[in-house]
Amino acid sequence: MLKRSLLVTLALTALVWSESSESYFTNISSFPSKIAQTVKDLNRTLLQNKLNGNWHVRVIDGKDVRQARAILDLDLDEMKLSGFDACNRMEGRLIRKSEESILAQELSTTYMACRESIHMWVRGRLHQMMKEGFTIKEEEKYGIRGLTLKSPTHELFLKKMGEEN
């Protein structure tokens, strides 16, 4: 929270200093919208930094799927996705469908056979969700802090790898 406050303060200070005294007073009506946009951009950057990284798929549609060992590596700065779908390596581009929704496009995978039915089940739902588009929400579920990815037909819960709890 302190880091966020410091970044907001720095952004606002830079904004004020970047304006000349003449234009500052003549454009006073646009100043609040500039601050609002700066804060919005800063929040988006902070959220992206928090969401970037490797995530272990823990639950799909209410079913514990940890044993499938599916992993998603999100890179929202570059709008890329890579990982392991429980059977194969995968990668693709992420496209923002709307302010809240993301779609994985051009998803490519290796072609190895799935070892068990749980792997096939996870792979199928994961790929369907990527094609449909999904929202990302940070929340606590099952006693764990993580991400919920939700599409029209599926819901995934992910835990960031390397973090406690």
How confident is the chain (165 residues) per 10-residue block, as mean pLDDT? 45 41 44 59 58 96 98 94 97 89 89 95 96 93 94 97 81
**pLDDT score of 47:** 58
Q: What is the dihedral of CA 143, 145, 146, 147, to 10 degrees?
A: 90
Residue with tokens 């599916």: 70
Contact 81, 94 (CB under 8 A): yes
Collapsing DSSP states into helix, strand and coil, what is residue 146? strand
**Residue 82 backbone phi and psi in degrees, to 5:** -145, 175
The two structure tokens encoding residue 77 = 């700065």
User: What's the pTM value of the predicted model, to 2 decimals?
Assistant: 0.71
Name the β-bridge partners of 135.
101, 150
**Residue 147 backbone phi and psi in degrees, to 5:** -120, 140
